Copies of this chain bind each other. A is one copy, B any other.
Amino acid sequence: MTRRSAVPPPVTAVLDASSRWLPVRLGEVETSLRELSSGHGEPLTEAATATLAAGGKRLRPMLVLLCAGGNGGGAAVRAATAIELVHMATLVHDDVLDDAPLRRGQPTVAATSGRPRAVAAGDLLFSRAFALLAEAGDARAVELLSEASVALAHGELAQRHDAFDTGISEQRYLERCRLKTAKLFECACLLGLVATHHPRTRERGRETSGDDERVLAGAEEMAEFGSGIGLAFQLLDDVLDVAGPPERTGKARGTDLLDGTVTLPLIAAAEADSGIRSVDLRSLDAKTAEALCDRIAATGALDEVRSRALEMVARAKEQLESPAFDPEQRQLLGLVADGVVQRYS
């Protein structure tokens, strides 16, 4: 089982290319995440720290900081911290749902502390995210993050509702991806944008001021960019579940299939090999799940889904041509987009 290094390659590329402010702020986010997982008495610390220690790419915080740009300041660091707390909360809760023993190659909170602690730890990370923003008076940020959280929960419920249904449409699958993944990436970009506008000033004149008009103008391109790479990220993640290899993904091939989660690789494969729709996912075991992965791969569906994801990333990068982005943002966000693809190439 491979362990990720502290700073994964795509992040390194962005950091290498950036000027001094980005690593400084990412460091502040890490400090803030660590602080929020301590100082609450023993039981909380242990559970929250286990989640933090699992690490991750900090992709969403990086999007917040980059969309805020050099002038983001404290509001950008808070927003970056808050969105990662929400992301971590959903990971902890997902692990409870799936009874997953490993996440990123390390034991999950659910596995180490038991389900009750994991549910409460997730709730805590979630609450902390909103408390952090609310205490600082970042009203618009709370609004964006709560909307994204509603979408996340909605997406989770939709996925559970669709479980083991091999007949779901591509459209339904994409809608679930938008809710479960793309919405939070979109939110990250918008959080970055609003962090550059002092919240109280903005709050007062929200419906009327010319300032707000400018926010909305830049918002469309940033939202499109975030949503696009978020969607691509999910598609590529779903390819990885089928393609493996386990020593790179940290989980067995076909884990989604065993959970009953039908994703685009299966849907696309069924176009060429219609018998795939008739497979009873409930009857799968580790061995037959791997065999189904091979059958999906044999149709060429994985390349097809990879191409779709690459197109999405390319379209997302077109958004960066907008005057809403300055040259440094254009370059660094472009590297983040490339990183999403590289991770899976």
Residues of B within 8 A of A152 (CB): 123, 127
CB under 8 Å from chain B, chain A span 97-142: 97-98, 114-117, 119-124, 126-128, 130-131, 134-135, 137, 139, 142
Residues of B within 8 A of A137 (CB): 139, 203, 206
With A117-B160, A120-B153, A120-B156 in contact, do A134 and B139 touch (Cβ < 8 Å)?
yes
Residues of B within 8 A of A157 (CB): 43-44, 47, 117, 120-121, 124
Is residue A316 within 8 Å, beta carbon to beta carbon, of the partner chain? no
Residues of B within 8 A of A87 (CB): none
Whether B203 lies near A42 (C-beta < 8 A) is no
Is residue A200 within 8 Å, beta carbon to beta carbon, of the partner chain? yes
CB distance from A328 to the nearest CB of B (A): 31
Whether B96 lies near A124 (C-beta < 8 A) is no
| Copies of this protein chain in the complex | 2
CB distance from A160 to the nearest CB of B (A): 5
With A119-B97, A121-B157 in contact, do A135 and B143 touch (Cβ < 8 Å)?
yes
Residues of B within 8 A of A214 (CB): none
CB under 8 Å from chain B, chain A span 35-57: 40-44, 47
CB under 8 Å from chain B, chain A span 199-231: 200, 203-204, 206
With A126-B126, A152-B127, A158-B41 in contact, do A134 and B119 touch (Cβ < 8 Å)?
no
Is residue A161 within 8 Å, beta carbon to beta carbon, of the partner chain? yes
Is residue A149 within 8 Å, beta carbon to beta carbon, of the partner chain? yes
CB distance from A219 to the nearest CB of B (A): 16
Q: Which B residue sits closest to A147, measured CB to CB?
A: B131
CB distance from A61 to the nearest CB of B (A): 20
CB distance from A165 to the nearest CB of B (A): 12
Whether A203 lies near B206 (C-beta < 8 A) is no
CA distance A121 to B160 in the complex (A): 11
Is residue A93 within 8 Å, beta carbon to beta carbon, of the partner chain? yes
Is residue A248 within 8 Å, beta carbon to beta carbon, of the partner chain? no
Is residue A291 within 8 Å, beta carbon to beta carbon, of the partner chain? no
A-B contacts besides A43-B157, A130-B145, A135-B147, 17 pairs, CB < 8 Å: A97-B116, A97-B119, A117-B160, A120-B157, A121-B153, A123-B126, A123-B149, A123-B152, A123-B156, A124-B154, A127-B146, A130-B142, A131-B149, A135-B143, A139-B139, A139-B203, A200-B204
Return 24 A-B CB contacts under 8 Å, by A number: A41-B154, A44-B154, A44-B158, A96-B96, A97-B116, A114-B160, A116-B160, A120-B160, A121-B153, A124-B153, A124-B154, A126-B149, A128-B150, A131-B143, A131-B146, A131-B147, A131-B150, A134-B142, A134-B146, A134-B147, A135-B143, A135-B146, A137-B139, A139-B139
